[in-house]
A and B are shown apart, each in its own frame.
Chain A
């Protein structure tokens, strides 16, 4: 009888311990609210329409996170945030004039470190925030494409690397710093969103400092396939550990 009573008490105690985690894990929206993510991230679809509004941004928009990101990436990032924009969310806010080259001044990383349970729940919730108008199913992972041609467009005619950092081989990172890094784009982003964004950046962000070009759909698909092959090298993964 005594053993049964002790067992029952221990079970109840275990349930009590687990209860807060269960309730938090069940509601990713609450996790987002409790961590005040909206203090830095736009969560409700208010696109920055003027330069003044762009400058007031503290962190990237998340109201279309479910269209933009991969859930696996979000779950990992929310536990261990890392810098994706070398010069901060808006490079102008953290750059000062320099004689040879303008200097980036330690941009803050506006991100919380969540527990695994909270990160899973928050990522699940963020994945529900989608732009219903974004065409889906266009990017097909694993599709064969002319990689040499795509590379030429990315590095030469399109000069995407002027603003984006990429891995030029064996973890050697080169490229511009005013825009998000792309060396792990294939681990981080949704291919359909990449295609939509590179085709019309201003649809997503009216004051994006990325040029909008008129190119054939086949070229956009080629570039998307190429960008989605960009994944963290073994050297980078080792360095993270």
Chain B
């Protein structure tokens, strides 16, 4: 009986390690990916205040804006990240990231943005 419990605990621990919140099984967390790829324009805190903002013709989206972000569907956010702003009728300043992040990482990023805005999509 004890042996069974130990084995079950070990399996559960491994499962939890691989499905931890915001953790990509391939290595980087969505929070770290956000800092490296997104923060340069959207800001370290996700409030649209990235270091590149000053000379941009269109301000980067504020991902902490609950009202604005609530208006977006998860599928729209996914499309914008994967294929760029033009895929959802927005600015070309938002580039496609599907050549850099995996599909799983992009899906995790959508979930991370929902954490930043404390909101759900329509």
Complex interface: chain B residues within 8 A of A54 (CB): 36
Q: Are B43 and A97 in contact (CB under 8 A)?
A: yes
Q: Does B32 contact A (CB under 8 A)?
A: yes
Q: Does B55 contact A (CB under 8 A)?
A: yes
Interface class of chain A by DSSP:
loop
Q: Are B52 and A211 in contact (CB under 8 A)?
A: no
Complex interface: chain B residues within 8 A of A157 (CB): 92
Q: Are A50 and B28 in contact (CB under 8 A)?
A: yes
Tier of interface size on chain B: 20 to 34
Measured CB to CB, the closest approach of chain B to A103, in angstroms, equals 8
* Interfacial residues of chain A within 9-52, with CB under 8 A of chain B in the complex: 50-51
Complex interface: chain A residues within 8 A of B92 (CB): 156-159
Q: Does B89 contact A (CB under 8 A)?
A: no
Q: Are A50 and B52 in contact (CB under 8 A)?
A: no
Q: Does B54 contact A (CB under 8 A)?
A: yes
Q: Does A161 contact B (CB under 8 A)?
A: yes
Number of chain A residues whose Cβ lies closer than 8 Å to a Cβ of chain B: 35
Q: Does A4 contact B (CB under 8 A)?
A: no
* Interfacial residues of chain B within 11-58, with CB under 8 A of chain A in the complex: 27-28, 32-33, 35-37, 39-41, 43-45, 49-56
Q: Does B95 contact A (CB under 8 A)?
A: yes
- Interface with A: B1-9, B96-104, B113-121, which one? B96-104
Residues on B lying within 8 angstroms of A by beta carbon are 27-28, 32-33, 35-37, 39-41, 43-45, 49-56, 84, 91-93, 95-97, 99-100
21 contacts across the A-B interface (CB closer than 8 A): A51-B32, A51-B36, A95-B44, A96-B44, A97-B45, A101-B53, A102-B39, A102-B43, A102-B49, A103-B51, A162-B41, A175-B55, A176-B41, A178-B40, A178-B51, A211-B84, A211-B100, A212-B99, A212-B100, A213-B96, A214-B99
Residues on A lying within 8 angstroms of B by beta carbon are 50-51, 54, 87, 91-92, 95-104, 156-159, 161-163, 174-178, 202, 207, 209, 211-214
